[in-house]
Amino acid sequence: MTDRSFDPARGRWIPWVFVGMMLLVVGVNAVLITSAVRSFTGTTTGRAYDRGRAYNHILAEAERQAALGWQARVALAEGALSVAVADREGAPVGGLLTGLLLRPLDGRTVPLEFAGAGPGQWVAAALPPAAGQWEARLSLRDAAGRHLDIRQRVIAP
- Side chain identity at residue 84, one-letter code: A
Domain membership flag for residue 106: yes
Span 30-59, pLDDT tens digits: 999 999 888 877 666 777 888 888 889 989
Q: What is the predicted pLDDT for the residue at 19?
A: 96
Give one word for 129, left, alpha or beta, with left for phi > 0 and alpha for psi -120 to 50. alpha
**Whether pLDDT at 4 is above 70:** no
Q: In this structure, what CATH number is given to the domain that contains residue 131?
A: 2.60.40.1220
DSSP string, the chain: -------TTTTTHHHHHHHHHHHHHHHHHHHHHHHHHHH------TTHHHHHHTHHHHHHHHHHHHHHT-EEEEEEETTEEEEEEE-TTS-B--SEEEEEEE-TTT--EEEE--EEEETTEEEEE---SSSEEEEEEEEEE-TTS-EEEEEEEEEE-
User: Count of domains in the chain?
Assistant: 1
> Would 134 be classed as within a structural domain?
yes
CA distance 116 to 86: 14
Residue 43 lies in a domain: no
Q: Is residue 25 part of a domain?
A: no
**pLDDT tens-digit map of 81-112:** 999 999 999 999 999 999 999 998 788 899 99
In a domain, 45, yes or no: no
User: Mean pLDDT in the chain?
Assistant: 89
Mean pLDDT (whole number) for 8-24: 89
pLDDT at 86: 94
| pLDDT above 80: residue 22 | yes
Range of the domain at 95: 70-156
